[in-house]
Amino acid sequence: ELSGRGEITPLKALEISEIQKREKEYHVIGLEQIRAGKVAAVLLAGGMGTRLGSDAPKGMYNVGISRDLYIFECLINNIKDVTKASGNSIHLFVMTSDRNNDATVGFFKEKNYFGYDPDYVHFFIQDMAPASDHNGKVYLEEKWKISTSPNGNGGWYSSMAKGGMLDIVKDNGIEWL
């Protein structure tokens, strides 16, 4: 059991030029970690495609020119490239919203997870938080009901925990998200 909160210190950062100098080394280290099952991906997919002119989840938007190609499919293809290079599948945690969860899960099933192993795809719903103005006054949806909105991309970890996803992380020895 932990006692106290610990000390918060700034994270060390690398300049792009430093990363480029050691790119091959980092590539090898990354693939080793994937092969060891220590890496997973988190996809923040709670948004709707409203700005794209669609009422569906943003990831369902078709960006194909000569064939159907969906945003979710492009992301899965990127993961499949990495898993092919490493020889090991990685877990994908997909954060949806109350508004788009059913459509997103249904779309993945309909598209057969775009050829990715469904045992490695896990959906969880983003937490909601009370909506307020800049002065902290809470908005009401109705006289008796507080208005809520998604807790934002910064809430992905707490939403993951609430959705039971950290059990999967722990049980599989995942260290990197």
What confidence tens digit (pLDDT) does each residue in 33-82 have?
A: 999 999 999 999 877 766 777 778 888 888 899 999 999 999 999 999 99
pLDDT at 166: 96
Residues 73-125 pLDDT 10s: 999 999 999 999 999 999 999 999 888 999 999 999 999 999 999 999 999 99
Q: For the chain, how big is the Rg over CA atoms in Å?
A: 19
| 3-class DSSP string for the chain | CCCCCCCCCCCCCCCHHHHHHCHHHHHHHHHHHHHCCCEEEEEECCCECHHHCCCCEHHHCECCCCCCCEHHHHHHHHHHHHHHHHCCCCEEEEEECCCCHHHHHHHHHHCHHHHCCHHHEEEEECCEEECECCCCCECEEECCEECEEECCHHHHHHHHHHCCHHHHHHHCCCCEC
- The answer to pTM > 0.75 is yes
